[in-house]
C-alpha cells in the first residue's frame, strides 16, 4: 500500500500494463536442424492454403455506471450525500465470469471497500458477498513514461473471477469521497477456442498465414524458433538442447552483485529513454556466449493462441527491455474458485479487463501459472525474449513478472504451482546468465518504497512486495520463494 493510503484492505497485486522501448536487433541465433526446430533461414511464415479464415474470437464486456445507494441499500454505511456509498441493486445481466470496478482518473485511489455478489447462470441462488481488492495502483507503467501517461488509462480494482453468472449486485463504500466515474465491468471470456493443427513449414515464400490474422501471425512469429506457426503450446526441451538453441548468453553468467556502497545511486545507463518497437520479431542486443551456461530445461508453455488471446484488442507492437536480471512473483488476486480447465478463461478475462476496461496495452504479466502447474505465455513478444511488462511499478525494466493465478494471503499455493515457477525461472533466467539463488541490482523508476533513480538489490527471484509496499504475492506464496530459488538453481545444474 502506498504510504499515503489509509485503507483497511491490504494491498494486493493484480494485472498490469507495459512500457514502450526499442532495442537494436542483431542477427537471430541459428538453431541446429538436429533439434527439429526452424533455422533462421526458415523462420518467416510460409504461405498456406486449404485453411479457413481466422474466426472472430468470442468475449464481451458490459460496463455499468454505479449510482448512489440510499435507504436499505446502504448496507456498508456512508454519508447522507451518497458520495461515499455507490453501487447497483440486484439485476439480471448478460452472462459474465469476472468482475472489476474502474474509474476515470488513474491517479486517484479508491479508499474503502468493494463487495459483489452474483447469481450462477440459469440458477436462482445468490452467492455470499465477496470482497474485491481495491488497491491496484502498484501495477502499471513506471512513472513519467509514455504508457504511464496514456490518456486511455483508468483507475481500477483488481479483477475477481466469479464463474459463469447472469446476475449481479455491488456495493462500494468510501472512507473518503469516491473517485469520479465509477463503473462495474462484467467480463465474458467467451468459449474456449477450437484447437487447430499448427502450420506445417514449407519452402513457400513468406507471407501472411491463412487461418491467422496479421496480429496472430506476428505473435506466432516471435516464437518461431521454439514452435510451429499457430502452435497452441511450446514443447518442453531438455537442458542440453536448450543450451544449444540459445548460444547468445551474456558473458557474465552470474546475476550482477554490486558493492554495498552502490545502493541508492542513480544508474544513468539503465535510465535511458525508451521507444516503442513495431510488430516484428526483434532480438535484443546481447554479448558473446559464456564457456559454461547454466540453463534449465525449457518447460512446456501454453501460448497465447493456446489460451485464446484475441490479438486484435491489444495495442500493436512488441516492447522489449535490455535483459532479464530478476523475476518478480505475484498472485493475480482473482480468487481461488477456478478449475485448471477454466484457467484459459480466467486469462482471457483478465486480458480483456486490462485492455478494454483499464486501458492497458496488453496482458500485464510476462507469464502466468495455474494451480495445476501449467505455464502460460503472457504479454506478447516472445517467451524467450526480454519482453517489457508492467507488473511491478518502478521495476519493470530488466525484469520479468510471473502471476500465479489465485489469492494466497491465507491459502497456501499448490506445490505444482511453486514447482512451475522454479522450472520457468531456471530456463528464462538461465537464458540471461542469472543464478536463481543470486542477487541483481535494478534501478527504481519511482514508487512508494524506493524513489526514482535508487539502485536496489533484489533476489533473482523476488516477490512483488520486495519492490513495492504491497501484500502481493500473499504471505503464503511469498514464504515459498526460498524453495523456488533452491529448486530453480538445481534445475540449472548448479550445486
438-487 tens-digit pLDDT: 999 999 988 888 889 999 999 999 999 999 888 899 999 999 999 999 99
The pLDDT of residue 345 is above 60: yes
What phi and psi values does residue 425 have, to the nearest 5 degrees?
-70, -35
State the average pLDDT over residues 130-157.
77
201 close to 38: Cβ distance less than 8 angstroms: yes
Q: Is the pTM of this model over 0.75?
A: yes
pLDDT, tens only, 195-204: 655 555 443 3
pLDDT at position 93 over 70:
yes
Question: Helix H segments across 148-236?
Answer: 214-221
Residue 332 predicted with pLDDT over 90? yes
Distance from C-alpha of 39 to C-alpha of 35, rounded to nearest angstrom: 10
pLDDT at position 495 is: 82
Averaged pLDDT for residues 165-191: 96
Range 21-26 average pLDDT: 34
Summarize pLDDT for 27-61 with one digit per residue, the tens.
333 333 333 333 333 344 433 333 334 445 679 99
pLDDT band, residue 233 (cuts 50/70/90): very high
Give the closest residue to 274 by CA, choosing from 315, 321, 318.
321
* Contact indicator for 229, 199 with CB cutoff of 8 Å: yes
Q: What's phi and psi for 76, nearest 5 deg?
A: -90, 0
- 392-424 pLDDT per residue, tens: 888 999 999 999 999 999 999 999 999 999 999
Phi then psi dihedrals of residue 160, to 5 deg: -130, 125
Q: Give the pLDDT of residue 27.
A: 34
Amino acid at each position: 500500500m502506498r504510504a499515503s493510503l489509509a485503507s483497511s484492505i491490504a494491498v494486493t497485486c493484480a494485472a498490469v500494463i507495459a512500457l514502450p522501448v526499442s532495442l537494436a536487433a542483431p542477427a537471430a541465433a541459428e538453431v541446429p536442424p538436429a533439434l527439429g526446430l526452424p533455422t533462421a533461414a526458415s523462420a518467416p511464415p510460409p504461405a498456406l492454403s486449404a485453411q479457413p479464415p481466422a474466426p472472430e474470437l468470442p468475449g464481451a464486456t458490459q460496463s455499468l455506471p454505479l449510482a448512489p445507494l440510499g435507504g436499505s441499500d446502504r448496507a456498508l454505511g456512508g454519508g447522507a450525500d451518497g458520495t461515499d456509498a455507490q453501487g447497483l441493486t440486484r439485476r439480471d445481466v448478460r452472462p459474465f465470469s469476472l468482475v472489476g470496478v474502474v474509474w476515470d482518473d488513474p491517479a486517484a485511489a479508491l479508499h474503502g471497500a468493494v463487495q459483489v455478489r452474483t447469481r450462477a447462470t440459469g440458477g436462482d441462488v445468490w452467492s455470499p458477498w465477496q470482497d474485491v481488492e481495491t488497491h491496484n495502483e502498484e501495477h502499471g507503467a513506471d512513472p513519467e513514461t509514455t504508457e504511464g501517461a496514456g490518456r486511455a488509462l483508468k483507475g481500477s480494482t483488481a479483477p475477481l473471477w466469479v464463474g459463469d453468472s447472469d446476475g449481479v449486485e455491488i456495493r462500494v463504500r468510501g472512507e473518503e469521497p469516491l473517485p469520479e466515474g465509477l463503473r462495474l465491468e462484467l467480463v465474458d471470456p467467451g468459449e474456449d477456442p477450437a484447437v487447430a493443427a499448427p502450420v506445417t513449414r514449407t519452402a513457400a515464400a513468406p507471407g501472411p498465414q491463412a487461418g491467422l490474422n496479421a496480429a496472430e501471425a506476428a505473435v506466432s512469429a516471435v516464437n518461431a524458433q521454439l514452435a510451429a506457426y499457430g502452435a497452441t503450446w511450446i514443447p518442453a526441451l531438455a537442458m542440453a538442447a536448450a543450451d544449444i538453441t540459445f548460444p547468445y548468453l551474456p558473458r557474465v553468467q552470474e546475476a550482477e552483485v554490486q558493492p554495498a556502497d552502490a545502493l541508492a545511486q542513480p544508474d544513468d545507463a539503465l535510465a535511458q529513454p525508451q521507444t516503442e518497437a513495431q510488430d516484428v520479431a526483434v532480438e535484443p542486443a546481447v554479448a558473446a556466449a559464456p564457456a559454461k551456461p547454466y540453463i534449465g530445461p525449457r518447460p512446456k508453455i501454453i501460448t497465447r493462441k493456446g489460451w485464446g488471446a484475441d490479438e486484435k484488442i491489444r495495442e500493436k507492437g512488441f516492447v522489449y527491455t535490455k535483459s532479464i536480471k530478476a523475476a518478480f512473483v505475484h498472485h493475480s488476486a482473482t480468487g481461488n474458485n477456478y478449475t485448471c480447465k477454466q484457467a484459459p478463461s480466467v486469462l482471457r478475462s483478465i486480458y480483456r479487463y486490462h485492455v478494454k476496461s483499464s486501458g492497458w496495452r496488453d496482458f500485464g504479466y510476462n507469464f502466468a501459472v495455474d494451480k495445476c502447474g501449467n505455464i502460460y505465455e503472457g504479454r506478447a513478444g516472445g517467451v524467450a525474449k526480454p519482453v517489457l511488462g508492467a507488473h511491478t511499478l518502478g521495476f519493470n525494466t530488466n525484469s520479468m513478472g510471473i502471476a500465479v493465478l489465485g489469492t494466497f494471503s491465507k491459502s497456501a499455493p499448490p506445490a505444482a504451482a511453486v514447482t512451475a515457477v522454479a522450472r520457468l525461472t531456471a530456463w528464462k533466467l538461465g537464458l540471461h546468465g542469472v543464478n536463481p539463488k543470486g542477487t541483481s541490482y535494478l534501478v527504481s523508476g519511482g514508487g512508494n518504497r524506493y524513489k526514482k533513480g535508487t539502485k536496489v538489490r533484489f533476489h533473482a527471484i523476488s516477490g512483488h512486495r520486495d519492490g513495492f509496499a504491497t501484500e502481493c504475492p500473499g504471505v503464503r506464496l511469498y514464504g515459498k520463494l526460498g524453495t523456488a530459488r533452491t529448486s530453480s538453481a538445481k534445475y540449472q545444474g548448479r550445486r
